Amino acid sequence: MEIITQNDYFIVKRMAPGVFAAIAKPGTGAWSNAGFVDLGTELLVFDAFNTPVAAEELRKQAEKLTGKKVKYLVNSHYHGDHVFGNQVFEDLPIISTELTREWIKDKNVIGDVDVEFEETQKYLDNLILQIESEQDEIIKQSLSNQYLEMQVLLKQIPSMKLTLPSITFENKLVISGTERHVELYCFGGGHSPSDTFLYVPKEKAAFMGDIVTDNLHLPIFHPEEFLTTLQSTKTKEIDVLLPGHGDIGSNEKVKTMIDYVTMLKEAARGAIAAEVESEDFVSSFVIPEEFKEWKGMQGIKRNLRTVYDFYAKDVEKTRTQSI
Ligand SMILES: [Zn+2]
């Protein structure tokens, strides 16, 4: 895919006419991918990176490349690496689901700057210890990348302010321009309590947020909603997509995510049915070949625990109901 331009934080690629990906360079303060769509007379930006400096560059580059102004920002979900740059777009309508807005408001509070600064510094000190003692090379690399990202964030803390979405929707929102329109969809959560993806029908292109990532054990919030959301993308004809982390690809990446979540679900349910305890399940788990090289700060273990607990609760519920 053609590289249009690049800078300290991200690489811009043209996914389709009028549809651009801003792919994060690791360890620079962008941390996750963003994208922008030329609606005709103005632009729509999808996600705002982990820091205002990276977001500022995004707004600048999008406007410079197209000669048009940004009119809207969309937040795919509440995680900081997608919304901490929101303040750069505070003069514009910022769009998310109602639930994502609530989670940004509750979870991303920036309190007293000195305290935040001190706590982040402590977190970074602790991270160094973790990196030093980590035996698994892949996890070590993921932790080191997080360290670099958090260092950029640390410097930005004094100038950061929580900037909330101002327009919310529930399941679907269509934004029309003179050249093309975009559709925002939310079928629940999966990776977070509420995940939105963006579809450009005219170009058969999509920005997936973190429901699709590249070779990464990204946190799972709700395995069943995750599968529903991923399956729902099949009703759209997608030729090219941008994952929340990693490079552009086809909807093969959706299939890989479905395989991953299904594999975790089946393994956890099998273990629960065989009355294997959670910790035994996690420690004895053999990662299937196709997911062995996947990165992530906690590897596959966190997701094994989450998915096990999720289905264990289901079994618990059925037991109590039958008593
Ligand atoms: Zn996320």
pLDDT, tens only, 47-79: 999 999 999 999 999 999 999 999 999 999 999
CA distances to 1, 107, 123, 238, 261 from 227, in Å: 29, 25, 33, 17, 7
Strand partners, 172: 185
65 within domain boundaries: yes
The domain that contains 88 carries what CATH number? 3.60.15.10
Would you state the pLDDT for residue 322? Answer: 58
Per-residue pLDDT at 120: 86
CA 317 to ligand 1 centroid distance, Å = 29
Query: Residue 319 pLDDT more than 70?
Result: no
Q: Are residues 130 and 225 in the same domain?
A: no
* Rounded distance from Cα 244 to ligand 1 centre (Å): 8
How high is the pLDDT of residue 1?
67
Closest CA to 94 of 64, 110, 70, 111: 70
- Which of 251, 272, 302 is where one domain is finished? 251
Q: Which of 81-95, 229-243, 252-266, 303-317 is least confident?
A: 303-317
Indicate whether 133 belongs to any domain. Answer: yes
**What pLDDT band is residue 181 in, cutting at 50, 70 and 90?**
very high
For ligand 1, the distance from its centroid to the CA atom of residue 23, given in whole angstroms, is: 15
Residue 274 alpha carbon to ligand 1 centre in Å: 32
Distance 197 CA to ligand 1 centre (A): 12
Residue 122 is part of which domain span? Answer: 113-159
Same domain membership, residue 167 and residue 150? no
Residues 305 and 240 in one domain: no
The C-alpha atoms of residue 322 and residue 296 are separated, in whole angstroms, by: 39
How far apart are the CA of 192 and the centre of ligand 1, in A?
7
Determine the distance separating the centroid of ligand 1 and the alpha carbon of 122, expressed in angstroms.
23
What's the gap in Å between 210 CA and the centre of ligand 1? 5
Residues 142, 267 within the same domain: no
Mean pLDDT of the residues in the chain: 93
Q: Find the 311 Cα to ligand 1 centroid distance in Å.
A: 22
Please give the distance, rounded to the nearest whole angstrom, from the Cα atom of residue 2 to the centre of ligand 1: 26
Q: For 37-42, what is the mean pLDDT?
A: 98
On whether residue 80 sits in a domain, the answer given is yes
Give 320's pLDDT tier (boundaries 50, 70, 90): low
Least confident of 40-44, 248-252, 297-301: 297-301
Cα 36 to averaged position of ligand 1 atoms, centre (Å) = 18
* Final residue belonging to a domain, choices 219, 251, 283: 251
Give domain status of residue 256, yes or no.
no
User: Do residues 148 and 229 both lie within one domain?
Assistant: no
State in Å: Cα 195 to ligand 1 middle: 9
**Is 257 part of a structural domain of the chain?**
no
* Concatenated DSSP letters of 214-275: SSB----S-HHHHHHHHHHGGGS--SEEE-SSS--B-THHHHHHHHHHHHHHHHHHHHHHTT
Query: Do 169 and 237 belong together in one domain?
Result: yes
- What is the CA(179)–ligand 1 centre distance, in A? 30
Q: Are residues 54 and 130 in the same domain?
A: no
Q: Distance from the CA of 149 to the center of ligand 1, in angstroms?
A: 14
**Per the domain annotation, does 217 fall within a domain?**
yes
Domain check: are 290 and 237 in the same one?
Answer: no
Both 181 and 202 in one domain: the answer is: yes
Per-residue confidence at 114, pLDDT binned at 50, 70, 90?
Answer: confident
Residues 139 and 269 in one domain: no
Write down which residue in 251, 285, 309 finishes a domain.
Answer: 251
Claim to verify: residue 174 and residue 237 sit in the same structural domain? yes
* Mean pLDDT, rounded, for 252-266: 97
Same domain, 192 and 218: yes
* Tally of domains within the chain: 3
